[in-house]
Structure 1
């Protein structure tokens, strides 16, 4: 069998709804991604985040270019990442809503300002305070490569929060059952 070539890209694409269903079965962390600066304050719920490197500490975040907060992130150049735990289901839903304003979103939860100026959720399991170092476009999204400037670890997280099968799931720390 020959490896794929550019000519193989002429095949009909995979159906969008099939791809979305497949990706709904890929478990992912639930995070709030936030920014503040000259372009204003914005935030949204994101599950497309992963570590890239530990030297320098780098993560990537994928943002849809059609999202109303996209340009704000690029103009501010800073990203706050708050990795959510079990108690944050409702907050994740609020930040996932495109019908809520930034003021409405940030009116919930307790926030602090990171050294970059990005908002960070006070009781998140982990916070990453980042600056954007590079941006790559792919399809409908921009992939933001973010250098981690500071990390905050919650002393006693109850359980993690994951997105799987289009629902939130709690990830217990010590083998207890999930909800």
Structure 2
């Protein structure tokens, strides 16, 4: 038997209501970096997630209006540097209007396989080549094939939740 009762008419989701709901979705804090012919750039992002492990692929969302967008679009390589507890100031620095040279001067970096900067004390670093870009609304979704991994710093993790930083205890994987 099928339900024949009328379905409610969907109400458009207001922008602020969507933002408020997204604030309640906890996410790791990452600094996304690139270096190449278009120069060196980096920004803070929580819009990062796994896509598949065959081949290992992440997605990173980047606003096309961001000042770093042309650099990432041209270089087509990046590193997702997952931050640890205690790196809030670095996250804030890369999330603001600070000149790029000052952002990178605030931490210790090494060059990855792709040439993208890798944060030496990141919890994890995913060195990637951008394999595909899809535009949705105001953002580009960068599909990033992981070419190399570094990290495993024995520190607490850092997440963004309810418009603030929170520490996540490192749990021993063997327990």
TM-score between the two structures when normalised by the length of structure 2 = 0.90
In structure 1, the gaps of 5 or more residues are: 3-7
Over residues 10-37 of structure 1, what are the superposed CA-to-partner deviations in whole Å (9 max), with x where a residue is unaligned? Answer: x663111111111000000000001010
Preserved contact between residue 82 and residue 125 of structure 1 (Cα < 8 Å): yes
Preserved contact between residue 81 and residue 129 of structure 1 (Cα < 8 Å): yes
Q: How does 1:1-179 map to 2 (within 5 A)?
A: 13-97=12-96, 99-154=97-152, 156-174=153-171
State the aligned residue count.
166
* Structure 1 pair 132–166 and aligned structure 2 pair: CA distance change class (3 A): same
SS at match of 2:37: coil
Larger radius of gyration: 2
SS at match of 2:73: helix
Over residues 40-98 of structure 1, what are the superposed CA-to-partner deviations in whole Å (9 max), with x where a residue is unaligned? Answer: 1110000000000101000000000100101110100101110001021110010010x
Instruction: Tell me how far 1:174 sits from its aligned partner.
Output: 3.8
CA RMSD of aligned residues (A): 1.6
Instruction: Tell me how far 1:116 sits from its aligned partner.
Output: 0.3
- Kindly report structure 1 stretches of 4+ aligned residues shifted beyond 4 Å: none
Q: Which has the higher helix share?
A: 1
